[in-house]
Amino acid sequence: MSNVIIAHQLNHAFGEGQLQKQVLFDINLEIEAGEIVILTGPSGSGKTTLLTLLGGLRAAQSGSLKILDQEMLGASKQQLSQLRCHIGYIFQAHNLMSFLTAQQNVRMSLELHDAFLEQDLDAIAANILSAVGLEERIHYYPDELSGGQRQRVAIARALASHPKIILADEPTAALDKKSGRDVVEIMQKLAREQGCTILLVTHDNRILDIADRIIYMEDGRLAPLPQTEEGISNPSPSIAA
Ligand SMILES: Nc1ncnc2c1ncn2[C@@H]1O[C@H](COP(=O)(O)OP(=O)(O)OP(=O)(O)O)[C@@H](O)[C@H]1O
């Protein structure tokens, strides 16, 4: 299987001069197509910073970062925005447009892709909303949906265009146990069907088992997963260290 992401000696710092603070140190990482990877670790360890780099939301500063075969070090804004067409994003706050229905929210994301211009976007949006179990709610506005349902719309929106990579930052943080579980299982199922890679940042130990691999971060570095930490256990033999 081919790698969709290859990071080599990736470092990252915020600020300049004396105020500069390095937050990522020598990250080496390879992620295969179709892999579901969870990034976990203490608050402030650099998970979101790494996720935004791996998703082309931030320019790489040093080392090497190849996403979908493209080098991100020194990439232009145009190259970054082209890359983002192949990536779906799901965040803790679902970021749906409140004045658009579920179907219109999904449709809008498809309108950004030239490949879909000639297609029946309403039908594609309705189909993917059915796949996340919302076939009876496609005309509802976000305010009329529960937190879990809104997050399912966000998943439908992210996956509708069949991106190669999905980035999810704390997608279950605002949800109760059952809704959180449902949401990640739907994400897992759709991604498997599409062969899509998922990178998911979470503090939620209840969902670690959906991952093919867990990557643990501490103080800006990849580190072995602490087995003693309450609730954390390794669901698969491959842990990045
Ligand atoms: N835009 C920024 N400017 C300056 N420092 C930042 C910025 N974003 C993050 N940081 C710092 O970088 C470090 C890593 O932050 P990051 O958000 O990546 O950690 P995290 O592991 O995702 O934390 P959490 O689990 O709390 O979300 C922290 O010390 C944070 O204060």
Tens digit of pLDDT for each residue in 155-184?
A: 999 989 889 999 999 888 878 888 888 888
pLDDT tens readout for residues 132-162 = 889 999 999 999 999 889 989 999 999 898 8
Instruction: Please report which helix (H) or strand (E) contains residue 70, including its range.
Output: strand 70-71
pLDDT digits (tens, 9 = 90+) for 105-140: 999 989 988 888 888 999 999 999 998 889 999 999
C-alpha of residue 233 to centroid of ligand 1, in Å: 25
Q: What is the ipTM of this complex?
A: 0.95
CA of 31 to the centre of ligand 1 (A): 22
143: closest CA among 92, 179, 102?
102
- 60, 26, 227, 188 alpha-carbon torsion, rounded to 10°: 30
- Under 8 Å CB-to-CB from 52, ≥6 apart: which residues? 58
- Run of H or E including 6: strand 3-14
Could you state, in order of their start, the residue ranges of all structural domains in the chain? 34-61+70-223
Report pTM: 0.86
Q: Which atom of ligand 1 is nearest to the CA of 170?
A: 27
Measured distance CA(153)–CA(145) in Å, rounded: 10
CB 40 within 8 A of CB 11: no
Q: How many CA atoms lie within 13 A of 80 on its CB side?
A: 16
| 84 Cα: distance to centroid of ligand 1 (angstroms) | 22
Report how far Cα 103 is from the mean position of its chain's Cα atoms.
Answer: 21
Cα 32 to averaged position of ligand 1 atoms, centre (Å): 26
List ligand 1's pocket residues with C-beta within 6 A. Answer: 14, 23, 41, 43-49
Q: Whose CA is nearest to atom 12 of ligand 1?
A: 23
Return the residue whose CA atom lies nearest to atom 5 of ligand 1: 14
Ligand 1 centre to CA of 27 (Å) is: 16
Given a contact cutoff of 8 angstroms between Cβ atoms, the answer to whether 185 and 211 are in contact is no
Homologous superfamily assigned to 34-61+70-223: P-loop containing nucleotide triphosphate hydrolases (3.40.50.300)
Dihedral (CA of 36, 206, 179, 97) sign: negative
Three-class SS of 32-62: ECCCEEEEECCCCCCHHHHHHHHCCCCCECE
